[in-house]
Structure 1
Amino acid sequence: MPLSNAPRALLVIDMQVGLFNGPDKPYQREQVLDHVNQLIRRARQNSAPIFAMRHTGPAESPLAVGSPFWQLLPTLEVDEQQDCVLDKARPSCFTGTDLAERLHQAGASELVIVGMKTQYCVDATCRAAADLGFTALLVEDAHTCMDTPHLGARKIIDHHNATLSGAFVTLARTADVRF
């Protein structure tokens, strides 16, 4: 059920080959990918706009524009002909992009946020969305990250769900999200 009568858009963050299939595998990556694809299908069935962000690194980096690691996952059901795919160079999907303008053009004031990495781009985007006047719903079982030397991925995800909930986002599980 939507948070209000405002149209929702799905925002898929950094589901890229190099991040998803790198040497450090994301926590519950196949389950998260399945949940993201379920939400893409659900959004498409309800004519909700779908935005996919792709992190871009410097020319010499593994995430340089056009590199194999920069590409969206081939198993991600984003359709680059139908959906809006934007590149970003900062953690927030809004910084240095025209995402906010495109969301306004699409008539979306609510974002359903999914993707990678929880403590970087997902966190920064959730916080920025609130600052820009968007209502955000973070799908608690459809974002992920990798273990770090100091904290396991499950704890990072749980911490960010708890920290972001209320002040910046509403939490929901994949099964409960509607467009």
Structure 2
Amino acid sequence: MYALLILDIQVGLVHGPEKPWRCEELLATVNTLMDKARNAGAPIFLARHIGPDGSPIGPGSPLTMIAQELKLLGEEVVFEKRRPNAFEMTDLAENLRSLGATGVVITGMKTQYCVDSTCRAARDLGFDAVLVAEGHTCSDTPVMKAKDIVAHHNATLEGPFCRLVRAEEWSFQQSRN
């Protein structure tokens, strides 16, 4: 079984000063994937990145709340993380294993931080890591445009760190390849 993992689609990133590339398309893709997961009975996990007390993304900050554009129904597991890797210092791996999940479908933000490190960690922990090609994003940086960061990470992560799939081709009923 595969679980859907949604990283850091929170108010401070979606509505912050650095606009994410293709954000509206990402939100639509993630909502579609949540519908697919629900229809298949697959668990849905949403990570919220939390910073230190007193920081703009400290515990309780409205910037860390899940973006209201995501269609949550209340059965999703929402958890806090403090590191880019969603498995580090969280009980995500244990929760996935307790539900019988052998794979995780990874989406969210930001590509070069949390998406990258979580894909790598998932495979290291024995999960079949699946990255949705159009299911992650970031903002432009002084060095590289977001479009190029996403393309670079799709190319780099595919193979040794994850399987790359398009959202419309993914079914939560499919077996592990």
TM-score by length of 2: 0.95
Question: 2: distance between equivalents of 1:107 and 1:40?
Answer: 18
The residue correspondences of 1:100-111 to structure 2 (distance < 5 A) are 100-111=93-104
Cα displacement (A) at 1:178: 0.5
Once the two structures are TM-superposed, the CA of residue 62 in structure 1 deviates from its matched residue by: 1.5
Unaligned runs of 5+ in 2: 173-177
Q: Which residue of 2 aligns with 1:125?
A: 118
The offset of 1:23, in angstroms, is: 0.3
Deviation at 1:61, TM superposition (A): 1.3
Mapped to 2, the partners of 1:62 and 1:43 lie a distance apart of 32
| Aligned match of 1:149 | 142
Asked if 2 retains the 8 angstrom alpha-carbon contact of 1:26 and 1:145, the reply is yes
Conserved? CA contact 1:52–1:78, under 8 Å: no
Q: CA deviation at 1:78?
A: 2.9
| Alpha-carbon separation, structure 2, partners of 1:53 and 1:168 | 20
State the match for 1:86 in structure 2. 79
Aligned-partner Cα distance in 2 for 1:40–1:20: 18
Shift >4 Å, 4+ stretches: none
Alignment check: 8 A CA contact 1:56 1:63 kept: yes
Q: CA RMSD in A?
A: 0.7
Residue in 2 aligned with 1:25?
19
CA–CA distance in structure 1, aligned partners of residues 13 and 56 of structure 2: 10
What residue ranges of structure 1 are gaps of 5+ in the alignment?
A: 1-6
What residue in structure 1 maps to residue 175 of structure 2? Answer: none
Q: Size of the alignment, in residue pairs? A: 172
Q: Which amino acid aligns with 1:65?
A: P
SS of aligned partner of 1:86: strand
Q: Secondary structure at the match of 2:3?
A: strand
CA distances 1:17-73 after superposition (whole Å, capped 9, x unpaired): 001110010000000000000000110111100001000011111211211101000
Q: Counterpart of 1:161? A: 154
Deviation at 1:107, TM superposition (A): 0.5
Which amino acid is the alignment partner of residue 99 of structure 1?
L
Secondary structure at the aligned position of 2:101 is classed as coil
Q: What CA deviation, in whole Å up to 9, does each residue of 1:63-91 have, x standing for no partner? A: 11211101000111233x31111100000
Further displaced range: 112-121 or 53-62: 53-62
Paired-residue identity, %? 51
Q: What amino acid maps onto 2:106 in structure 1? A: I
Matched AA of 1:176: E
